Every structure is written in structure tokens, then in C-alpha cells.
Structure 1
Amino acid sequence: MRELRAPIVCLIAALALSGCMSTTGPVAVAPAPIGYAEPVPVRIDSGYHLDAGDRLRVVVYGQEGLTNTYAIDAAGSITMPLIGSVPARGRTPAGLAGEIAARLRNGYIREPSVAVEIDAYRPFFILGEVAAPGQYPYVPNMTVESAVAIAGGFSPRAKRDAVTVTHTDASGSGRFIVPPGTPIGPGDTVFVSERWF
């Protein structure tokens, strides 16, 4: 019943604002203040690009000896039994699964079925005017605010309205000055500067 109430209330409010429900003519309504917010991008694991420090769960169905957790090393690869080193840096989990299946199909398993999941993301870094700067585990859908909270909060001298985020992806590395509600990704570096007043 609660699910039906909200649309009905919205419909009644819309009719009232348009003057349809008034018997004496249009109703004058004072405009309410409106707050605009930037849309927040949503991170999806299927579009996530792997890099060193990510830990993956690779499942090769029907092959218990190959199903395991693998960490991407500093060279950007994982090392699996039978097929050895497989480049993972810059690939999506689905792309890596396809590469592993192709290598296994080449003389090892007739029709391999492979799935790759992210077991743990690479860490993010937070520096500057926070209580405990350092390296922390990344959690999906993390924002600058939650990163600051994990690092113990702002120091008394912190500039709180904007921070610098360094982000690296397939197109390169960039530094951006962003508000606290901005999403961050694994491997990003958040720098909280000192305010001057």
C-alpha cells in the first residue's frame, strides 16, 4: 500500500499546482527553492580496468586445480598453473576471463568456462591534512568524504570544500580539484591541502 501512496500523492500535488483541482481558478503557488547537484557517475565492475594490486577470484568451472585467488603483480600480470603469466593490466574482468579461456583452449581444456571476479580492489592513498594519512583498502562506491573519514577526518587546518584527486586510467594520469562528494576509484590519490585563513 505504501508503494501506491507516493505516486498518488505526487499526482494530487501536480494537479493542485496546475490548478486542475481548484474550483475558483488557478492557485498561486510560491516557487520553492531548488538545489541542483551534479550527477554522480556509477562505477560498474564489468567496466573496471584491472591494475597491479587488484586481487582476483578466477573460477575455471570443473577444474578445481585452476580455480583460485590471484593477485596482479607489479608487472600487471597473474600467474596461473598450465598457462603461466597472463597480462591483466588495463583489461576488464570479462576481457581477462576471455584471454584465460583462449589460452586454456590452446591444448589444455577442450571447452573451458572461465569467470573472473574482483576479490579485493587495489588500495587508494590519502595525503595532506587528515588525521592519519596513508594507504587504505578501497571499498566500492567510495567518495572523497568517505576516504577522509577512513583516514580519521580532516585536521584542524584542512581546506574542506575541495581536494585534489590524482586518477590514472587507460588514457593516462590527471589531477583534478573536486568537491568532497566526488567518487574516487582504486589506486587514486586524494590530497587534502591546508587552508590559508
Structure 2
Amino acid sequence: MLRIRHILLLPCLAATLAGCATNDRPLPPMAVMQNPYRLDSGDELRITVFGQTDLSNTYRVDQSGSITMPLIGSIPARGATTVEMQQRIATKLSQSFLRNPNVTVEVAANRPFFVLGEVTQPGQYAYVPGMTAEMAIAVSGGFSPRANMGLVRVSRTVNGVRYEGKISVDEQIRPGDTIYVSERLF
């Protein structure tokens, strides 16, 4: 009789566990950290056009993933590297206004990261290059008394695809990451 009960409970248990599965892909290995930085909304770019002080300025990537410059208008930035942005801007300028424009693009400020869950002050914070999950949690006021201090869940978008997975607190994060600190069980 006991075995029949166990056999009947297995499909229920499987259905319950299937509902816990996430549609997000697992967080890619740390090799993704070494890829060139890709721009996205919230990044601030310092653009210099040699000899053109009116065009040289700091521009923020807007919600649509573009920047808007005088004379040439909107230029898509989402997913591009700084070198690709230099080429896009130079191409647009050379098509109508300047011959052989010399353009440099550098990231003046990275987009923010977010910390949620069992921390003192959850919210949005400024990213600093080389930041680890532990540093990000420290910026948000540190762990709450109920926090799991070993592993944190991170959501990250890479090339338009959302990834989610657990990392240890000593691993690096990227701009735009969302860090979730869970509650410990005991």
C-alpha cells in the first residue's frame, strides 16, 4: 500500500518541481567578463571629434539604446563597443559634414547595477570597474541579519539575451547586473 502511494505522488512532485524551473539561461562562465564592453542604456560616453568643439561632449545612451549628436542626429549604441561607435560616428560625419573626421569614444560612466533582497538598502548604485558582488553588497549597506552570505543570484543581459545564475560573492559583476541576495535557511 505504501509503494502505491509513493508511485502516485511522483507525478505530483515532478509537476511541482517543473513549476520551479526558470526560463532564464544559466549565467555564462567568467569568460564573458573578458569580452569587450558592450554599451547599453544608462552608459555615459565622452565623445571627442578633433577640431570640433561643438560636437565634442558627453552623451548618455537613452532608453532606446541611442545617442543623439548635433548635426547627425540619432546613432544606435546598444550592443556596440566604443571602437564600433567611433566608426559609426565618423561614417555619419564624413557623409555630410567633415572630411576624414577623427573621433574618439570612451565610457565616462557605466550604467548602474541593482541590488535586491536581504541587504540593508536595496536599490540602484553606480558601477565601479572591477567591482565584485561583495563590494556591490557593501555599497548597498551590507547584508541583513537574515542574508545568505555565500552565494547571490545575478541577472545579466549579454547580446540581448538574459542570463541568470548563482555566483559567489567574490566574483566580479558587470554594469547593468541585478544582484539578488536571498534569505538563509537557518
TM-score (norm 2): 0.81
Query: What fraction of aligned residue pairs are identical, expressed as a percent?
Result: 51
1:186 aligns with 2:175: yes
Q: CA deviation at 1:83?
A: 0.5
Aligned length: 158
> Residue 154 of structure 1 aligns with which residue?
143
Deviation at 1:47, TM superposition (A): 1.2
Q: Judging changes above 3 Å, is the alpha-carbon distance between structure 1 residues 90 and 40 closer, same or farther for their aligned structure 2 residues? A: closer
- For the residues of structure 2 that align with 1:41 and 1:93, how far apart are their CA atoms? 20
Question: Residues 80-99 of structure 1: CA distance to partner in whole angstroms, max 9, x if unpaired?
Answer: 01100000000001100100
Runs of 4+ in 1 over 6 A off after TM superposition: none
Alignment of 1:54-133 (within 5 A): 54-133=43-122
Q: Given residue 142 of structure 1, which amino acid in structure 2 is its aligned partner? A: M
Q: Does 1:142 align with 2:139?
A: no
Residues of 1 paired with 2:128 and 2:36: CA distance? 16
What is residue 7 of structure 2 aligned with on the other side? Answer: none
Amino acid at match of 1:71: R
Unmatched runs of 5 consecutive residues or more in structure 2: 1-28
Question: Max radius of gyration: which structure?
Answer: 1
Asked if the contact 1:43/1:141 (under 8 Å) is kept, the reply is no
Once the two structures are TM-superposed, the CA of residue 171 in structure 1 deviates from its matched residue by: 5.2
Paired residue secondary structure (1:141): coil
Equivalent residues of 1:52, 1:122 under 8 A apart? yes
C-alpha contact 1:78 1:85 (8 A) present in aligned 2: yes
- Looking at structure 2, the residues matched to 177 and 40 of structure 1 have their Cα atoms a distance apart, in angstroms, of 12
For normalisation by structure 1, the TM-score amounts to 0.77
> Larger RCO: Structure 1 or Structure 2 (Cα < 8 Å, ≥ 6 residues apart)?
2
- For 1:173, which of 148, 162, 172 is the aligned residue? 162
Q: Where does structure 1 lack aligned partners over 5 or more consecutive residues?
A: 1-38
The equivalent residue for 2:21 is none
